[in-house]
Structure 1
Amino acid sequence: MTAVVRPGRATSLQGLFAPRSIALVGATDKSGWSLSTYQNLLGHGFTGPVHLVNPRTPEVHGRKAHKSLTAIGEPVDLAYVMVPTPAVLDVLSEGAELGIRNYVVLTAGFGETGTEGRRREEELHAFVREKGLNVLGPNGNGYVNAAAGITPYGLAITQPPPAGPVGVVLQSGALASAVLNFMHARNVGLSMLTSMGNEMSLSVTDVIDHLVDDPATEVIALFLETVRHPEEFARVARRAAEAGKPIVALKIGASRLASRTAQAHTGALVGDDRVVDAAFRRLGVLRVHSLEELILTAGLLARTGPLPGGRIGVVTPSGGACEIIADRAEQEGLEIPPFAPGTTARLKEAVPDFATVQNPLDVTGYVLVDRTLLARALETVAADPGIDVVLALVDLPRVPPADPEAARAYFGAFAECIRKTDKPVVVSGNVLTDITETGRRLQEETGFPYIAGGIDHAMNALGAAVRWSRSLPDVLREELSAPAPADVTPGRPGETWAEHRAARLLAEHGVPVVPSVRTADEHEAVAAAERLGYPVVLKAAADGLQHKSDIGGVRLGLAGPDAVRSAFRDVRAALQSSGYGADPAVLVQPQRTGGTELLVGVVRDPTWGLTLAVGLGGVWVEVLADSALRLLPVTHADVRSALGELRGARLLDGARGTEPADLDAVAEVVVRIGELAGSLGPRLESLEVNPLWVRGARVEALDALVTWA
């Protein structure tokens, strides 16, 4: 896939993230930022020249300082800018004249500070676009390229994580050091960490693009406050999926949808945070909810890559751990199947007589007597044809062992056993603790694999890895094309089309709708009821009326002419008292009984666009709040999957002897509703069918509402 480059930036970030020479502009002994950046570069492996620039001081950090970039007198690949806010543009202007294309701007005081700061940032951005510069920041700490030993990063790095396969991108400067420290504590290997700052020029998506092409990066971990460029984010997420590189994201924050959208029932089910879930699901981005999960899940995926399935074989020396793992597996949607007969027979020969051979397998404390027992059991479980992944519970020593040679032999043999298996093996400790220098040395000396935290975090990460692996075929499928625009004149700005107009729109576009007659007096209403067949329903019909039942505008179960006349008068009176004119109309419909009522709604999210919600419908929709979300467009399979996620999904299966719903017929209608919504253009704010009545293969829209932006 060809990269999309926004105007004003270079096509490659190689010079930014792998410079051969660096200038620290604004270097000074008075700044801890300056000293930390300088010491990071010298102390973490950068071998190129580091030039210090300060026009007022001849010596900084014990070395000669140049008065300007020009005074350096030789090419510079990257300028790290720490000058006062008003001087930043002058530095970039001088650098651009010298051919310097890449900058990290540590300086704050721009868009994050208010009106004057935004003006400064816009001025700076206009210059950057004009000159085609790569600028990380402003108001950012820089980056740590651990794979190449290049660390133009403004905070002291006291405990660097090992170089490794996880690339980290953060919309936060303060959290970067915490992430680095936690990666060190868990021995998770880092390829590169980038602190984005204000994203004036380069955005998160630009850095993801770079990491997708970076051979040192196998997994991408994101801390996101917002997704600034959703279309670009979707593009780079698909590029990552195509490259087999998982993206794990901790997305914080929530915002409300527009107030008019929230008035529809669907608005009670769709919020910004849930739309983010739907968007990430579509794009194959794994969403987590803590920094610990972010790093541990990324570390596990870097070890396993795509997993063949979710059938887990568990090998531990603890019965209590087996029970915890069984509970957590069910919560994560993982299966712990019985062992095959042959596996059971071989395990009975290996474990002591007092052990119970089952999955999860507790090999018992006999591991203290037979140091080969756990590894041999793992090898047997890994050979089981019904197992996709093996989970082994092993803790590294925290203090130097009494017999270091025996410890090396034990962990080395275990590591060799894992390497020989043809199934992925995930190793977990019992609880989440730091890996000490003792454990770190043992891992380095023996090749013992990554340990995915304690049981809870390991099961989180394993469940996420299985979900990502299962989602890949859907993520990599050919993108659905948008439906052709419908020949429909949108309503007036802010207008709501009530049922009589919305239902006609649905019917004209192939959505089955309950028969309905709009009547002007009670005689017409009775005649319509006679034609449609009793029992019937009477409903208020008035432009702009969203919730008929709220004003007493619905009457059900009308079995004869007298009931229809009385109901007509009641409904009309309700409309009149609510200000809908002197002679408002009333709809007559046949009453549908039995079956299940669903809600199918589409709302326009301000970031991600049209979002489909399916859930249990009728009057209980907001009380039950049982729904599943998907971004449009959707396929038949997407809808079937969403229906299966509902807590009330069993109602569609024919619970308590009721007729099961034809889910293929339901999915066909829901897809059609989604296609209609997509064809109505950018003026559509929401389209709702509530309820969508389902009885066997019969599917009908019983009520509908359309809101125009």
Structure 2
Amino acid sequence: MRGFFEPNSVAVIGVSESPDNLARRIVQNLHEFEYDGIIYLVGARGGRAFGRRIYKSVSDIPDQVDLAVVLIPARYVPDVIEECGQKGIRRAIIETAGFSELGKEGKELEMRLSEAAARYDMRFIGPNCIGVINRANGLAVPFPGLKNVFGRGGISIISQSGGVGLDYLNMLASENLGLARFASIGNKLDVDECDLLEFLIADEQTSIICMYLESISDGRRLMRLARSTRKPILLHKSNTGKLARDIAQSHTAALSEDDAVVSAALEQVGIARFYASNTLLNFLKVLPLPPLRGNRLAVLSRSGGHAVICADACERHGFSLVRFPREFLEEIEKHFRAKVIRLTNPLDLGDLFDYDVYDRIVERTFSLEDVDGMVFLHTYVSAVEREASRAFLKRLEEHSFKAGKPVAACVSTDSEEMSVLRRTLPHPVFTTPEDAVAALALKRDYRHEVLEEPRVEQAGLDIDGIREILSRCEAENRPVLLDEGLRVLELAGIPVARWRVAESPDEAAVHAEELGGQVAMKLIASEVSHKT
């Protein structure tokens, strides 16, 4: 997988002199992100672009090429991959659409594509994707035009959808969250999410892994990989219902799975599932913070109204608000100009405008043994308190890490000032009390650590008998029938209701008498689900 992200040379195939040519955007992105390798341009008509020669074929390139990025009509892709293989190229990213997501003809093209790649031991990402980004070396090969606005960091993204992937990238840029690597995998005909996940788990640049999937290629492998790492894995698994199946099939050739099974399996191995971008954003904001070791919060606010809203959010998310010691509140009350606010938790600081005192209050609050985490609600007019507020918000993170307890900073100010905060603060900020508290709830509830592979206790387990039944079903290309399923459970040592198989009304009557008279009858047939 490293070859997809760290090539020394890239050939962009499909470039022309036309300004509307999509492959030209790939070259523009490589320049925009200052890719540190060699770029070759390839297009059937030849010519020049970006001051470079456009080779008519990859075989015309005089040097070795590490990675081919292909964006040409689908019908030509298998032959071009064949040519890449002959050239000695062993990695390709195929951004072209028009394969199995469009039906039978596309599936035949995929078969030819796979056969060509297999002949030369070539691995490829796609087809029907937008490629990869590596912030470390400037490799950026999506065909949508991009600007290099992504900070470097530890978040890596695997997305089956190019559009959703771009949505995540925009989110990172707007919130100043650093990107490590990005991969759009489309139809995942060869390289799939498990291949890339295994790479990212071992990747030193990556600390958090985000995935968007419409189908899961290998559930067992995915679970095994998730158990093997302490890195957080966040997954949006869509295509869960009947209404989504048709569009997902035509979008990335994805098939739907049993969603309840998917959710249970993900929870079992510590993969955090989310359904909305806002939840993902909250995850990404709080995961780098110190751990939340309990359920007890302190809420500090410059606005009484925001304090009330935050208290409601705390209750909705199952938090408790710490009862502050009397001596602690009396110490704070000394700094107030007027005794017009009754101090409690949430702590209303509306009568206090001394930022040095804020610092002392935050430090003192964190020192309380009963406090597990904090929400600080900061409302200000940027034209008046801009510099003081920015400096305090930076110090807020320092207090948090010094105490080893998380703080969710919620800021209410003008949009221009919020934009500056997102670009300059070393920690994320929230814009509503609900989001701040919801993020801390995610921090509280999400636990991920290296897990051992589950071991099956084989005492009393008839493995050979189970395998015989399952092998027979597989050989006959049919599902497990009701009586076979019951027998598998018995062979596994799992208690089931007493049962018999009857092949005639008379035999059914005999069995019913043996079982006590009151029985349920179920139909056994390979062509129908069992029914009472």
Fold in common (TM above 0.5) = yes
- Report how far residue 38 of structure 1 moved: 1.5
1:23 and 2:11 are equivalent in the alignment: yes
Partner Cα distance (2:69, 2:491) in 1: 62
CA distance in 1, matches of 2:179, 2:46: 36
**Aligned-residue offset at 1:355:** 3.4
Aligned counterparts of 1:436 and 1:64: Cα–Cα separation in 2: 45
Q: Secondary structure at the match of 1:585?
A: helix
Q: CA deviation at 1:171?
A: 1.1
Aligned partner of 2:159 in structure 1 is 170
Deviation by residue 1:259-278 (Cα, 9 ceiling, x = unmatched)? xxxxxxxxxxxx92222221
The Cα shift of 1:179 comes to 2.3
1:141 shift after superposition: 0.6
1:304 aligns with 2:314: no
1:390/1:50 Cα in 2 relative to 1: closer, same or farther (>3 Å)?
same
Q: Which residue among 150, 171, 191 is the counterpart of 1:161?
A: 150
Q: Kindly indicate whether the alpha-carbon contact (under 8 Å) linking 1:220 and 1:298 is maintained by their aligned counterparts in 2.
A: no
Aligned to 2:273: 287
Secondary structure, in 3 states, of the residue corresponding to 2:321?
A: coil
SS, match of residue 123 in structure 1 = helix
What is the CA–CA distance in structure 2 between the aligned matches of 1:583 and 1:421, rounded to whole Å?
Answer: 70
Q: Which residue of 1 aligns with 2:258?
A: 272
The residue aligned with 1:468 is 446
**Quick check: 2:500–2:511 contact (8 Å CA) kept in 1?**
no
1:115 deviation in Å? 0.8
Q: Deviations over 1:53-106 (max 9, x none)?
A: 123122124432122223221222221111222322232223223332221111
CA drift at 1:158: 4.1
Give the aligned partner of residue 434 of structure 2. Answer: 456
Partner of 2:341: 355
Residues 335, 45 of structure 1: CA spacing in aligned structure 2 closer, same or farther, 3 A cutoff?
Answer: farther
| Aligned twin of 2:43 | 54
Quote how far apart the aligned CAs of 1:27 are. Answer: 0.9
Instruction: Name which of 501, 513, 518 aligns with 1:585.
Output: 513
How far the C-alpha of 1:148 sits from its partner, in A, is: 3.4
Match of 1:377 among 352, 361, 373: 361
Q: 1:430–1:286: structure 2 CA closer, same or farther, 3 Å change rule?
A: farther
Which residue, 282, 302, 319 being the options, matches 1:334?
A: 319
Shift of 1:452: 4.2
1:6-38, Cα deviation, whole Å (9 max, x unpaired): xxxxxxx22211222211111124344223212
In structure 1, distance between residues paired with 2:492 and 2:355: 73
- Is 1:387 aligned with 2:377? no
The structural deviation recorded for 1:328 is 2.6
State the identity as a percent. Answer: 26
- Could you tell me which residue of structure 1 aligns to residue 245 of structure 2? none
Structure 2 CA distance for aligned equivalents of residues 350 and 211 of structure 1: 51
RMSD over equivalenced CA pairs, Å:
3.9
Task: Note the alpha carbon deviations across 1:215-273, whole angstroms, 9 max, x for none.
Answer: 2221111112111210121122123xx3x2111111112258xxxxxxxxxxxxxx922
Q: Residues 182 and 225 of structure 1: is their aligned pair in 2 closer, same or farther, counting only changes over 3 Å? A: same
The SS at the match of 2:55 is coil
Structure 1, residues 444-477: CA drift from partner, whole Å, max 9, x if none?
xxx4x212453223333222222123xx36x624
Shift of 1:542: 7.6
Q: What is the match of residue 427 of structure 1?
A: 409
What is the alpha-carbon distance in structure 1 between the residues aligned to residue 511 and residue 390 of structure 2?
A: 90
Distance in 1 (CA, whole Å) between partners of 2:189 and 2:98 is 13
Alpha-carbon distance change, 416 to 162 in structure 1, aligned in 2, over 3 angstroms: same
Q: What residue number does 2:62 align with?
A: 73
- Tell me, yes or no, if the aligned pair for 1:137 and 1:202 is still in contact at 8 Å: yes
- What residue identity is the alignment partner of 2:360? R
**Contact kept in structure 2, 1:221 and 1:298, CA below 8 Å:** no
1:14 alignment partner in structure 2: 2
Contact 1:250 1:289 in 2 (8 A): yes
Alignment-mate amino acid for residue 5 of structure 2: F
Deviation at 1:114? 0.8
Query: Partner of 2:251 in structure 1?
Result: none
Find the aligned partners of 2:390 and 2:511 in 1 and give their Cα distance: 90
CA distance in 2, matches of 1:40, 1:157: 6
8 Å Cα contact 1:188-1:295 kept in structure 2:
no
- Does 2:221 align with 1:232? yes
Give CA deviations for 1:661-698 in whole Å, capped at 9, x if unaligned. Answer: xxxxxxxxxxxxxxxxxxxxxx9x9xxxxxxxxxxxxx
CA distance in 2, matches of 1:312, 1:38: 50
**Alpha-carbon separation, structure 1, partners of 2:41 and 2:494:** 70
In structure 1, the gaps of 5 or more residues are 1-12, 257-270, 517-540, 546-574, 591-682, 686-705
Which secondary structure does the structure 2 equivalent of 1:312 belong to?
strand
Residues 28 and 61, structure 1, Cα contact 8 Å, conserved in 2 = no
Which deviations, in whole Å up to 9, do the C-alpha atoms of 1:355-414 show, x marking residues without a partner?
333333222x234x32334333222221111222222223687xx745765455444444
- Deviations, residues 565-587 of structure 1 (Å, cap 9, x unaligned): xxxxxxxxxx99xx966995375
Query: Corresponding residue for 1:485?
Result: 462
Q: Determine if contact 1:496/1:543 at 8 Å carries over to the other structure.
A: no
- The letter of the residue matching 2:372 is D
* Matched residue SS, 2:181: strand
Q: Does 1:107 align with 2:96?
A: yes
Equivalent residue letter for 2:444: V
Name the structure 2 match of 1:145: 134
Gaps of 5+ in 2: 243-256, 474-478, 519-523
Give the alignment's TM-score, normalised by structure 2. Answer: 0.81
CA distance in 2, matches of 1:544, 1:463: 54
Instruction: Identify the residue that residue 314 of structure 1 maps to in structure 2.
Output: 299
Residues in 2 aligned to 1:508 and 1:14: alpha-carbon distance in whole angstroms:
42
Alignment of 1:505-544 (within 5 A): 509=493, 511=495
Tell me by how many angstroms 1:441 deviates: 5.0
Secondary structure at the aligned position of 2:234 is classed as strand
The whole-number CA distance in structure 1 between the counterparts of 2:384 and 2:340 is 29
The match for 1:194 is: 183
User: 1:171–1:383: structure 2 CA closer, same or farther, 3 Å change rule?
Assistant: same
CA gap of 1:235–1:428, structure 2 versus 1, over 3 A, is: farther
Partner residue, 1:552: none
Q: 1:54 to 1:159 in 2, by over 3 A?
A: closer
**Deviation string for 1:162-219 (max 9, x for gaps)?**
2222111111012222222222222222222211111011111112222212222211
Shift in CA distance, 323/431, structure 1 to aligned 2, threshold 3 Å: farther
Q: Which amino acid aligns with 2:12?
A: L
Distance 1:508 1:188 in 2: 49
The structure-2 alpha-carbon separation of the partners of 1:236 and 1:490, relative to structure 1 and needing over 3 Å to count, comes to: closer
Counterpart secondary structure, 1:394: strand
- Please tell me whether Structure 1 or Structure 2 has the larger radius of gyration of its CA atoms: 1
Instruction: Give distance in 2, aligned partners of 1:375 and 1:32.
Output: 56
Matched residue, 1:260: none
SS, match of residue 222 in structure 1: strand
Give the Cα separation in 1 of the matches to 2:480 and 2:205: 51
Q: Distance in 2 between matches of 1:81 and 1:510?
A: 53
**Is 1:96 the counterpart of 2:85 in the alignment?**
yes
TM-score normalised by length of structure 1:
0.62
Q: Structure 2: how far apart are the matches of 1:109 and 1:236?
A: 31
Kept after mapping to 1: 8 A contact 2:13/2:23: no
Return the letter of the residue paired with 1:295.
Answer: L
1:335-369 alpha-carbon deviations (Å, 9 max, x no partner): 33323566445444455643333333222x234x3
Partner of 2:247: none
